[in-house]
Amino acid sequence: MKTTLFVLTYNEIEGMKAIMPRIKKEWVDEIIIVDGGSTDGTLEYAKEQGYTTYVQKKKGLRNAYIEGFPLVKSDYVVTFSPDGNSVPEAIPYLIKKIKEGYDMVIASRYLDHAKSYDDDFITKFGNWLFTKLINVFHGSNYTDALVIYRIYKKSLFYELKMDTEKSYNMEKWFFTTMGIEPLLSIRCAKYKKKYTEIPEDEPKRIGGERKLQIIRWGAAYLTQIIKERFTK
């Protein structure tokens, strides 16, 4: 079983320098940095460390996945944020868990004893609300359906059509570009894939700035959740 660490960056030099040295080479088979056009030295640092790097041509989180996934050579992918929110020491636990036969394993910020130290009232409520709506509309039992930090089969990305523009056509209504995580969680439940969660804290971010578009993403995700309920 080969595993790729898929790292999403945009002006995260402080986090990169603090977090990436904690990742042991024996944990994964390759590390790919997909950068959204950093101007703070993030990309240069990644190249200095010998990581495979790619600068996305289109802006937005989902385009980072769509453009970057063809570079992945492994069977499994850990999606990871180097801003301090993702605890690197959880990588071996995610890999160990998916070896039990799962299609996807999520590092949940709200399962059991886990806690997000980066949440404010709005993000905590939003994560709870959209996770709850996904569970109600799609019969799932997630505690954290939106988090980036997870591992899944590379083939799942294509099998669930995460790479198609049609899957995100509601973006244009809200003038935004969405992440893939809510839809990935929805379709794993919708198409009866085997998924689970492990508890993992979310520390505060290190440097940089949040890229959240709370109102636009919220409206788009709500539309997506409802639309997926009534389409095959």
Q: Are 126 and 218 in contact (CB under 8 A)?
A: yes
Higher pLDDT, 63 or 178: 63
Q: Are 33 and 54 in contact (CB under 8 A)?
A: yes
Q: Are 185 and 144 in contact (CB under 8 A)?
A: no
CA distance 194 to 210: 31
Res 169: pLDDT: 86
**How does pLDDT run across 116-140, given as a tens digit for each residue?**
999 999 999 999 999 999 999 999 9
Q: How confident is the model at residue 214 (pLDDT cuts 50, 70, 90)?
A: confident
Q: Count other C-beta atoms under 10 Å from residue 99's C-beta.
A: 12
- Residue 230 backbone phi and psi in degrees, to 5: -110, 15
Q: Residues near 175 by Cβ (< 8 Å), separated by ≥ 6? A: 216
DSSP H helical segments within the chain, as ranges? 13-19, 42-48, 61-68, 91-98, 121-138, 154-159, 171-174, 181-190, 214-229
- What CATH fold (topology level) applies to the domain 3-229? Spore Coat Polysaccharide Biosynthesis Protein SpsA; Chain A (3.90.550)
Nearest partner of 20 among 41, 51, 44, judged by Cα: 51
* Side-chain half-sphere CA neighbours of 111 within 13 A: 16
How many H helices and E strands in the chain?
Answer: 9, 7
Res 51: pLDDT: 97
Res 57: pLDDT: 96
Q: How confident is the model at residue 170 (pLDDT cuts 50, 70, 90)?
A: confident
The pTM assigned to this predicted structure is 0.95
According to DSSP, residue 167 is labeled G
